[in-house]
Chains A and B, each alone.
Chain A
Amino acid sequence: MDPKREFELMMTRRQLFGRTALGVGTAALGHLMNSGGFRADDKKIGGQPGFPNFAPKAKRVIYLFMNGGPSQMDLWDYKPKMQEQFDVELPADIRNGQRITTMTSGQARFPVAPSKFKFNKHENNEDGVWVSELLPYTSEVVKELCVIKSMWTEAINHDPAVTYIQTGSQLPGRPSLGSWVSYGLGSENENLPTYVVLHSKVTRGDPDQALFARLWSSGFISSEHQGISLRSKGDPVLYLSDPHGMDRKTRRDMLDDLGKLNQMQFQEFGDPEVAARIKQYEMAYRMQASVPELMDVSKESQEVFDLYGKESQEPGTFAANCLLARRLCQRGVKFIQIFHRGWDQHGNMGGDLPTQCKDVDQACAALIKDLKRTGMLDDTLVVWGGEFGRTVYCQGPLTRANYGRDHHPRCYTMWMAGAGVKPGIVYGNTDDYCYNIVDKDGRVIEPSIDEFTPGAVHIHDLNATILNQLGVDHTKLTYRYQGRDFRITDVHGHVVKDILQ
């Protein structure tokens, strides 16, 4: 258990002792338990003192994670000049010694594969933004989006890369971003988890890249901060349902009996942890009601389902998860992460990418519109993207109609929206080959992890910026473990002020 948490618990215990003699009656204890915490600020449950560090723009985050590495030059980063370079070798000076995965490092050639998809220019709040025909719905909301074309990372394989962007380290063991947020900021709703994870069905069938529990784990921070999966099959929260044959009243009666037994133990031994335990059982009882209420979308209007698309009525789809995310926001859940898999197009880009996009496009746009409509976009940060990008050169057979792309860490596209992020802009540029980040004059930028490079956004910068919008200075949100103060951005990360209002 971490020192801070212990301190809080102890404060709680001391107050308990302060207010009650050892012979406290159940009623008095019960009153204490039900008074909704001991803090003046009823809205903040848990979290660290001093956090948020400054007034937050975002009260919550919805992070739409496209696992596998969506192809930026087929979706967001329009490269018309590549059409003439079909099957032409990638110039060596463009590649410039960048390491290549062993899946393609043995290839004799690195021929350019131009995108087969049409791009259209859409009006935003600056010079407009080119978007692929595969994202017709998202195109409608680009006035709300800040499209970052200059994301970069060092990792070039899935497991290290996705672990890196989620936890700030390529090796397992560190807390995930959502866990940091839960630890630092606490919760606004003690009947629901602070950090919720949703997994989405993929139309193409079993996806070809894995996820790992470590991606929403709390690492060395105590496990109460780990992401809790809300499942579409079975119990939405594990073991939420009482056994078959037990009704709510029976559970209530059992908990009352249990409370009495625990209370007797408290009287005998004076261990304040007993009080904390009783409280957790009561929270569990309330969750048994609040979670089904959350999952029950039957009272949502037809208009809402039309907005998110008909899949939104099928539990477990990305669309249904987006709708749930909005409902979670309404209930004060701080950090919601929706995972959608299958974005690893080493081959069959022509066949698979449209299906992938169809899974998410309408719902992404609907989420933005819905948040906007309900006024929540002002204080909800939405983030979309994956762990790295893809190469302009082809992996496997190349035709105009079909091709594959290998992993590419040097530049890729993500977008953010809401909560004080500049709407309707594009940030960062890449060269004609979508291989390197360039400045506005087209000169290649060699971004460094050690200092902020304007125009380039390292994944640590992204995490620093997300925390900044939550009112958190990423350098202050630390946790002492094994003699070192850890943080999500390690010893790096800079807030990208250029994209903030």
Chain B
Amino acid sequence: MISGFASKWVLLAVSATVLSVSVFSNTLPRPTLKRSPRTVDFNRDVRPILSEHCYKCHGPAVKDVKGDLKLNDPASATKDRYGKFAIKPHDSKNSMLLERVTAKDSPMPPTDSGMMRLTAKQIETLKLWIDQGSEYKAHWAFIPPVKPALPEVKDKKWSRNEIDRFVLAQLESNGLKPEAEADRNTLIRRATLALTGLQPTPEETDAFLKDSKPQAYERVIDRLLASPRYGEHEARYWFDAVRYGDTHGLHLDNERSIYPYRDWVIRAMNRDLPYDKFASWQLAGDLLPDKSTEQLIATGFVRMNPTTAEGGAIDDEFQAKNSFDRTETFSTIFLGMTFTCARCHDHKYDPISHKDYYGLFAFFNSTSDAPLDGNLLVPGPAIKARLPEQELTARSFERKMQSALNQAHSEEALAWAGTISITAPKTSKWEVSSPYAAKTFDEAYDMECGPEPNGKVDASKWKTLDLKLGVAANVVPLEIGSGFVRGVVTAEKAGKADLRVGSDDAVKVWLNGTLIHSNKVLRSITALADTVRVDLKQGENTILFKVVNGGGGEGLIINFGDAVAERVAALVKNPQANSIALKRLFLENGPQTDLSQDYRKANAGLTALDKDIPMSLVAEELPSPRVANILRRGEYNLKGEEVKRAIPKVMGEMPKYAPMNRLGLAQWLTRKDNPLFARVTVNRLWLQHFGTGIVKTAEDFGNQGEWPSNPELLDYLAVRFAEDGWSMKKFHRLVLTSATFRQSSRVTPEKYKRDPENRLLAHGPRFRLDAEVIRDQALYASGLLRERLGGKGFRPYQPEGLWEALGFLGSNTARYTQDMTEDIYRRSLYLFWKRTSPHPMMLTFDAPMRETCVVRRSRTNTPMQALVTMNEPAFVEASRVMAERIMEEVSGDRERLNRAFMLTLSRPPHAEESKVLMGALARYRSLYSSRHADAHQMVSVGMSPRNPALSATETASWMMICSTLMNTNAFLNFE
């Protein structure tokens, strides 16, 4: 259906101004392209003008349409208005539109609209369009891509694969020639950085240089795609999009446990999980039949939005805000549109209505997680994030338990149940102490006060407390501090009982003088959160509670019981229906037999296995969806019309077979005829390798987004991606083995003048590397990098006071504690990501905060960046350790310099470079040989031990050389 105008796409920009889509880009030079017979295309040429200058008042936003004229709607635009027409096809003379935009007196758009006047060229375009019949077309991005035929090219030799045909055809039509292939050193460095985020080792570079057999480069690509580093690197881009962080992101910004999701993404990338599955599991893994643990972990995607539990926050408000964030992140990542405008009203530019927004919103507002996170590490729902191999072990334990269950006899279980009775102990003599004030939550928790076994002086005054089981009592009338409650528990006979405790915030419990439970946590009183099995002696037992408040409300609630007995009592009411549960209790708590031993052993094994496995937040659908309403102005308390789940009208309909939930949404999304899903994705992947997407506005494929620089190529790649089974690895291989990618990044002044942004790809890519890659490269060159896939976020060197200057004292991320292990040299993607204060090195080099979805980083060049790579301790240390490394590995200045170049830039130095650096080396030697103390200070940087066999003077001198290399443009760039 697009083939009719697809052939015109190649012509791309007819004129620079016509293409403009934004106020600012009006002045932005575009590639100057060959002029062609002026055929105006609505999508390419006209819509941007109407969208920019007219739609605000005469566009898709229905309510405030001026003069009953909607220029986006052909019926309205060409309506006969008492013999007059806004647009009369083929007749620009009688089209009021042109008259109004050229009028001397108060021309459109009006000055007070904030819109700019049309340029002469834009008016000319409108005129041509009308005279050519004023044909309207649906926005290109809403039409499913069709695989275009490969264009014919004059140069039959240059192309290596299909990509090149599209690129070359465009170059040829513009009278440009591609650059020659980059040299091998550049190629392997570029490919290795592109696929693993690290530079090649000198050995890898040498091997590639020596490999004279055909397909040497392709073999490098395959090796890199098979490396586990590939997943780590590829996942990193995803984490910007899903706003991955290790903290809640709002207010207290406490830690939360979701890194198993991060590790799942890495593994999924490494095994090349097809992208449609990759997307579907994240959106709706919980709704899949027979869902696996990893499919559940994947739904961490849904839970990734920032959350809060700020005192005073209102549930409904955050239920709405959380769903906004999920809706907008979903649409940005998968549909290339945010819909943010439509949160408050109909979209002014895109055909997305206010109702469409809430139809999509309704898919995301019915998960079971509480709107407020309780500041918890694991605000449920969450699961033990077993790895696939751990899952296997767990299954084998579960099978053993099942087999024991099958063998156990219901009658025996029932007989045993008859011997169990509830012996809830009695409590009495409750007293509460006067409170102990503290400056911080930590201090209040740690300080051993009077009533504690080691407490210094019992200066507290005890008062009688009317503590009722199951009812919260206030015990610490302080913002920050602790309070104590004590009482007596009387048991008729010695035995076990279950103590259940809820507290705001932390709690410690002593029974008969022994600490039996402690939970350092910031929480509000949720009834009876902790259960502790206690051994009571016959008669009176003393019990003591310490409740620590870290701010806001406080209190204590307890209850006593016997969980086993209570369950038995409940189950025996209907022994037939509950026979399995009864057998389970019997095996767990009944008399010791071979069978129960087997069961308990397996159970213990399972518990031990799970002990060190982290929890990960997952999505879980409510049994029946929450009602969704249109929210006027996007305010949670201004509820309008009730809406049903629906995809935006302009994007078609849900397939008949799809359930109306997130799973159905995923099924609709990943269909091959979805016009956006594949395009948006391949564009993002392309962006990784060329620094700019084919659609530059990777986050906006809507009316206001930028026209693709090569629409046919984009469509080809989108269709091919689906045909190749949604394989990201295949996609990368296609791109990296293209002649286009393999060009030298050299740019001639002529080419630069024609196409400063290299949108036509007349030379190879060149752009500054991302923050993570720059840091990892430096560590890798020195040999300091410690590689280990997954695990908890690490905390490297960080200037003192950064978190402290911001943090809420009650937050568990208010203070920064650096790791004191080799973990500080891990790859940057494993940085512990505190969303309200990410590591400064990352922010300085344009990493996003991860509070909102980002699919395209800005790429700046600032003095702060220079300060980081010159002075940040990790970089300085890396230069020292790299100096030691080259001194240990090779001897002779030339050889060492050569090695230093190979480690950092993957090539030997040029003669001129050698000359400069050899001169520098001599200078540093002479300097540091007379200043031993300085040399010694220089080489003392960092936690890693230095090699005492190497002289400080020599190490410091080489260190300066290594640091210089790590600050070169070549080191900081992808080229």
A binding-site residues for B, Cβ under 8 Å: 1-7, 10, 13-14, 17, 22, 49, 99, 101-104, 156-159, 170-173, 199, 205-214, 217, 220-224, 226, 228-229, 231, 233-235, 237-247, 250-251, 253-254, 257-258, 260-262, 264-266, 268-274, 276-277, 280-281, 283-284, 287-288, 346-348, 406-407, 475-476, 478, 480-485
Contact = CB atoms under 8 A, between A and B. Distances in A.
B752 A260 contact: no
Contacts of B860: 1, 5, 222-224
Given A156-B312, A214-B836, A265-B970, A13 B941 contact: no
A213 B806 contact: yes
B968 A261 contact: yes
A106 B637 CA distance: 19
B862 to A, nearest CB: 5
Given A99-B314, A257-B916, A243 B871 contact: yes
Contacts of A250: 924, 927, 960
Given A224-B860, A257-B920, A283-B863, A159 B964 contact: no
A212 B836 contact: yes
Nearest to A231: B801
B23 interface: yes
Given A3-B24, A157-B251, A226-B843, 10 more contacts: A7-B24, A210-B811, A212-B806, A222-B859, A239-B864, A239-B872, A244-B937, A254-B964, A271-B745, A274-B969
24 contacts: A3-B22, A3-B24, A13-B752, A101-B314, A208-B551, A210-B253, A212-B253, A221-B858, A231-B799, A231-B801, A233-B800, A234-B800, A238-B840, A238-B867, A244-B941, A253-B923, A254-B960, A258-B968, A269-B747, A273-B861, A281-B866, A346-B479, A476-B114, A483-B704
B867 A237 contact: yes
Given A208-B551, A262-B969, A485 B810 contact: no
A171 B871 contact: no
B752 A240 contact: no
B27 interface: yes
Contacts of B917: 257, 261
A223 B836 contact: no
B935 A245 contact: yes
Given A10-B29, A226-B843, A244 B938 contact: yes
Select the residue from A2, A241, A482 with max chain B CB neighbours within 10 A.
A482
Q: Which 4 A-B pairs have the closest CB atoms?
A: A101-B312, A245-B937, A483-B704, A245-B938
A238 B799 contact: yes
Contacts of B910: 264
A246 B935 CA distance: 8
A102 B313 contact: yes
B935 A269 contact: no
Nearest to A102: B312
B6 to A, nearest CB: 24
Interface residues of B, number: 122
Nearest to A244: B937
A22 B750 CA distance: 11
B861 A270 contact: no
A243 B700 CA distance: 44
Interface string B207-232: 00000000000000000000000000
Nearest to B477: A397
Interface of B: 22-25, 27-29, 114, 249-253, 306, 308, 310-315, 321, 324-325, 332, 337-338, 340-341, 349-350, 439-440, 479, 551-553, 637, 697, 699-700, 702-705, 745-749, 752-753, 756-757, 766, 768, 799-801, 805-811, 814, 836-838, 840, 843-844, 846, 849, 851-852, 854, 858-868, 870-872, 876, 910, 912-913, 916-917, 920, 923-924, 927, 933-941, 956, 960, 963-964, 967-970, 972-973, 975
Contact of B313 (A14, A101, A281): A101
Contacts of B872: 239
Nearest to B768: A273
Given A213-B843, A253-B920, A241 B801 contact: no
A208 B810 contact: yes
Contact of A271 (B24, B29, B766, B805): B766
Contacts of A222: 846, 858-860
A409 to B, nearest CB: 11
Nearest to A48: B24
A228 B868 CA distance: 14
A170 B322 CA distance: 12
Nearest to B798: A238
B253 A2 contact: no
Contact of B251 (A22, A210, A237, A277): A210
A239 B863 CA distance: 11
A173 B25 contact: no
B849 A14 contact: no
Contacts of B703: 483
A272 B913 CA distance: 20
Contacts of A104: 312
A171 B323 CA distance: 12
Contacts of A481: 699
B865 A280 contact: yes
A346 B311 CA distance: 11
Nearest to A229: B805
Contact of A4 (B24, B325, B912): B24
A229 B637 CA distance: 37
Contacts of B704: 480, 483-484
B920 A211 contact: no
Contacts of B114: 475-476
Contacts of B941: 243-244
B241 to A, nearest CB: 13
Contacts of B766: 269, 271, 273
A265 B920 CA distance: 18
Nearest to A100: B312
B859 A1 contact: yes
A274 to B, nearest CB: 5
Select the residue from B552, B745, B934 with max chain A CB neighbours within 10 A.
B934
A247 B960 CA distance: 12
A463 B807 CA distance: 26
A238 B23 contact: no
A281 B968 CA distance: 10
B284 to A, nearest CB: 25
Nearest to B114: A475
Contacts of B849: 172, 213-214, 217
A264 B912 contact: yes
A234 B251 contact: no
A206 B814 CA distance: 10
A247 B837 CA distance: 32
A346 B310 CA distance: 14
A15 to B, nearest CB: 12
Contacts of B325: 171
Nearest to B855: A482
A253 B972 CA distance: 20
Contact of A244 (B806, B867, B940): B940
Given A212-B806, A224-B860, A265-B968, A483 B313 contact: no
B639 to A, nearest CB: 14
B861 A277 contact: yes
B320 to A, nearest CB: 11
Contact of B753 (A17, A231, A281): A17
B445 to A, nearest CB: 14
Contacts of A288: 867
A214 B243 CA distance: 14
B861 A484 contact: no
A278 B69 CA distance: 54
Contacts of B24: 2-4, 7, 480
Select the residue from B252, B801, B860 with max chain A CB neighbours within 10 A.
B860
A401 B306 CA distance: 40
Contacts of B912: 264
B543 to A, nearest CB: 29
A13 B23 contact: no
Select the residue from B840, B858, B924 with max chain A CB neighbours within 10 A.
B858
Contact of B752 (A224, A270, A276): A270
